[in-house]
Structure 1
Amino acid sequence: MAIIKPFLTSSRFDSTIGAGTGTGATFAIAATAFDNDAGVVATAFPSAFAYYNLYINGVLQQGSTSTITTTTITIPNGDAENAGTPVTVEFVIN
């Protein structure tokens, strides 16, 4: 049985599809294109987290929809969405 730490917190980051670059499989949005919970431009995504949730237009996406690093979230074919579509990334940190 896995040991779960008793303390969990979360951090959310908000942006839009229009902030991304690239096309098809290389479409990505930089961490610096997101605002954090305080409404301040993010400098990076958390480097250590339990998991993250990706919401596109308020809809939770499957885990295979994206990959993430501290500097970028890659959403293959995300460029097919409308530029004004909201994107929220929520990190659960323990």
Structure 2
Amino acid sequence: MAIVQSFIASRKFVSTLSSGTGTGAAFAIAATSFTNDTGATITAFPSAFAYYNLYINGVLQTANTSTLSTASITIPDGDTLDGATPVLVELIVT
């Protein structure tokens, strides 16, 4: 029998690619560069989540496009995109 989570919600965070640092495979955007749904700057991404979705310029990205930690999201070659491009990270928390 499958275990069913009793609570599922999402947390959304937004920034732009110009907030990132590094180049190529090392390009990352710090969690402190993101704001949450209330417009407040965050200090870290949640450490416990079921999965996350990454949207670049409103387009959902495939799972191999990024790596998420509590401190940052790494988007290889994200530095080649326009800095004004919006980035939205949605974490599904349980």
Q: TM-score normalised to the size of structure 1?
A: 0.97
CA shift digits 1:10-47 (9 cap, x unpaired)? 10000000000000000000000000111000110000
CA distance in 2, matches of 1:46, 1:53: 14
Inter-partner Cα distance in structure 1 for 2:66 and 2:79: 13
Q: Report matched runs for 1:1-94 at 5 Å.
A: 2-94=2-94
**3-state SS, counterpart of residue 18 of structure 1:** helix
Gaps of 5+ in 1: none
1:73 aligns to what SS in structure 2?
Answer: strand
Give the Cα separation in 1 of the matches to 2:3 and 2:61. Answer: 27
Aligned-residue offset at 1:7: 1.1
Q: Cα RMSD over matched residues?
A: 0.8
Q: C-alpha distance in 2, partners of 1:35/1:45?
A: 10
Q: Which runs of 4+ in 1 moved over 4 A?
A: none
Matched positions, count: 94
Q: TM-score, normalising length from structure 2?
A: 0.97
Percent same amino acid at aligned positions?
62
The 2-side partners of 1:83 and 1:93 are apart by: 29
